[in-house]
């Protein structure tokens, strides 16, 4: 095995150094073989021997001869596979469900009308822009009581987009014609006494990975800047049916990573020198800046959590499968989630009440019931907190004082907090799941060279991740998902005696773990640094346990005012 024939044109040690330098030396890499073939190497037993060296597998010469024919047949199969054009929205036949057998119960209560908190009816302000930062709970009452019209609100938000977005870069496309048409229809219906519910007439924005008929859906990349998908995503259809008014498609980092897109960097309205974080950058920035009343974002691994934190908004990452993804860009079929980013936890509950449930098209979507009840008190629930995460040294945990204050508020509300820990599972070993699925989702995009036109190149960017994904073995992808099952079992045990868990948003392993297990999270502001930028705390719920999780978040927000603060906005010169 150590004697690789010189006629292969390969130097064994140089070959090993190359792959060791990029951190792949000890990993099984079936892609090594095909990479060598793509470079012009002939498919022979010697080429197989080179791949063995990287793979850590040792075969006898006669074994190599026997598998050579199989490998040659595999090459033909791969070439045939590459010739098939697979639309992004087509999922693999193997579907992920967060529900292990013992957790296959609905954590939410039975269906029923939402029970909202009481909201004092605001007087109509002399300047409508005073409503730009009002939560949906207040705007909906003003609309229902006809203190303001949807057309007035829509024009006010559109004017703010024109004035402030040149500095924030949060909007890809303004859907003005559609919005004004919807707003006029909402006003007419409300005037006739047909009130559809709390989102009727409310202007909102969609992350630009959601298809909207008649408007570009860019996914944040320049090659798609003019592409129009001839359909409305399911969440868009459901919000249309609720009478909500779509006024803009909002930015996302290229193919849902970061805050850089083909139009530049989306900015944090609290500090325009900062990016808005991502990938739901535009949703976070526009909501915080009062350009929309709420937005719909998505998370695969932090894309709601991070921009909610950076921009000081309240984000809801629902249970995996709670909201159908039909009409949304697929990045990772087993990790993608759609959810609202709003001004309050109750706003998130009202939006979730509209968009959740199976649609008959997304086979991963569940029809578990959801019922919002704002009366639920923390003292009625079993609330845990990740003790060691809160006890870390401040040098590695600069938001410690803000997070500890959250525990004090919850105790003052009557909560008995139970110390628990993040279940011990080798979470990092599962990171390849996202890489493999993202690589598959954009394999043709990578092979045809479109990936070379992305703005961000180099380490820790999609082009590199997509290329590296071809080196992930199918065996290891499957085994990583088996470890995932172990993680799901540990988290099911953890939640057996808990309803909600409080955690620092970026506690070790928390974000990766819960995105892999599919658990829901509510991310909300809990303070401001000395430079005026917001920080966040996260509440976790059991699978399909958003109602209890959001009830705790709502109670916390009723006792604090961080979510009601808003930035002073920059105006482009």
Residue 246 CB-half CA count within 13 A:
26
169 sits in the region (left: phi over 0; alpha: psi -120 to 50; else beta) called left
> How buried is residue 249: exposed, middle or buried, by Cβ count under 10 Å (0-12/13-18/19+)?
buried
> How buried is residue 215: exposed, middle or buried, by Cβ count under 10 Å (0-12/13-18/19+)?
buried
Annotate 190-234 with DSSP letters as a single string.
HHTT----TTTT-EEEEETTB--TTSB--TT-GGGTT-B-SS--H
Length of the chain: 573
Give Dmax (Cα) for the chain. Answer: 87
CA-CA distances (angstroms) from residue 279 to 144, 170, 270, 307, 476? Answer: 34, 12, 18, 7, 27
d(CA 190, CA 144): 7
CA-CA distances (angstroms) from residue 376 to 316, 402, 411, 556? Answer: 18, 24, 15, 12
**Quick one: tokens of 264?**
């530049």
Task: Kindly state the DSSP code that residue 564 receives in the 8-state scheme.
Answer: G
321 sits in the region (left: phi over 0; alpha: psi -120 to 50; else beta) called left
CB 340 within 8 A of CB 297: yes
Whether a cis peptide bond, with omega within 30° of 0, leads into 279 is yes
Contacts with 278 (C-beta within 8 Å, 6 or more apart), sequence order: 252, 253, 256, 257, 258, 259, 260, 266, 303, 306, 307
CB 216 within 8 A of CB 172: yes
**Residues catalogued as catalytic:** 207, 279, 303
Terminal-residue alpha carbon distance, the chain? 67
């Amino acid at each position: 095995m150590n004697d690789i024939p010189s006629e292969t044109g390969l130097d064994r040690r140089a070959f090993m150094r190359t792959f060791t330098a990029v951190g792949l030396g000890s990993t099984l890499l079936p892609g090594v073989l095909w990479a060598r073939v793509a470079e012009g190497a002939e498919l022979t037993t010697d080429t197989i021997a080179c791949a063995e060296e990287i793979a850590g597998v040792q075969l006898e010469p006669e074994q190599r001869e026997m598998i050579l024919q199989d490998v040659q047949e595999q090459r033909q199969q791969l070439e045939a596979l590459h010739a098939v054009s697979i639309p992004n929205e087509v999922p693999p036949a193997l579907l992920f469900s967060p529900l292990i057998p013992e957790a296959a119960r609905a954590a939410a209560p039975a269906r029923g009308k939402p029970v909202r908190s009481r909201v004092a009816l605001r007087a109509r302000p002399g300047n409508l822009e005073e409503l730009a930062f009002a939560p949906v709970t207040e705007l909906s009452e003003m609309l229902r009581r006809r203190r303001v019209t949807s057309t007035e609100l829509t024009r006010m938000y559109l004017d703010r987009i024109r004035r402030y977005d040149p500095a924030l870069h949060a909007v890809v496309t303004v859907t003005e014609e559609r919005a004004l048409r919807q707003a006029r229809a909402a006003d007419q219906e409300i005037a006739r006494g047909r009130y559809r519910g709390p989102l009727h007439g409310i202007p909102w924005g969609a992350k630009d990975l959601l298809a909207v008929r008649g408007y570009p859906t860019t996914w944040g990349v320049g090659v798609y800047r003019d592409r129009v998908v001839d359909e409305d995503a399911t969440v868009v259809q459901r919000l249309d049916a609720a009478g909500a008014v779509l006024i803009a498609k909002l930015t996302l980092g290229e193919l849902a990573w970061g805050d850089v897109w083909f139009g530049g960097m989306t900015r944090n309205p609290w500090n325009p020198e900062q990016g808005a974080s991502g990938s739901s950058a535009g949703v976070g920035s526009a909501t915080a800046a009062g350009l929309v009343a709420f937005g719909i974002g998505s998370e695969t691994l932090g894309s709601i959590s991070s921009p909610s934190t950076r921009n000081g908004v309240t984000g809801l990452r629902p249970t995996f499968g709670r909201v159908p993804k039909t009409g949304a860009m697929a990045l990772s079929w087993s990790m993608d989630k759609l959810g609202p980013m709003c001004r309050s936890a109750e706003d998130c509950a009202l939006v979730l009440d509209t968009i959740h449930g199976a649609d008959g098209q997304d086979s991963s979507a569940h029809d578990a019931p959801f019922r919002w009840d704002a009366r639920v008190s923390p003292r009625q629930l079993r609330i845990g907190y990740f003790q060691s995460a809160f006890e870390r040294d401040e040098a590695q945990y600069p938001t410690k004082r803000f997070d500890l204050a959250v525990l004090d508020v919850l105790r003052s509300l009557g909560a008995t907090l139970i110390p628990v820990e993040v279940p011990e599972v080798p979470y990092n070993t599962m990171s390849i799941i996202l890489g493999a699925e993202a690589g598959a989702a954009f394999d043709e995009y990578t092979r045809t060279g479109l990936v070379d036109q992305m703005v961000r190149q180099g380490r820790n960017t999609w082009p590199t991740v997509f290329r590296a994904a071809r080196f992930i073995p199918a065996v290891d992808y499957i085994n990583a998902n088996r470890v995932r099952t172990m993680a799901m079992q540990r988290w099911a045990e953890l939640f057996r005696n808990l309803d909600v868990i409080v955690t620092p948003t970026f506690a070790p392993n928390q974000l990766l773990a819960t995105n892999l297990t599919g658990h829901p999270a509510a991310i909300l502001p809990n303070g401001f640094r000395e430079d005026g930028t917001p920080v966040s705390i996260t509440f976790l719920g059991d699978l399909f346990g958003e109602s209890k999780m959001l009830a705790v978040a709502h109670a916390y927000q009723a006792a604090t005012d961080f979510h009601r603060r808003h930035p002073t906005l920059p105006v482009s010169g």
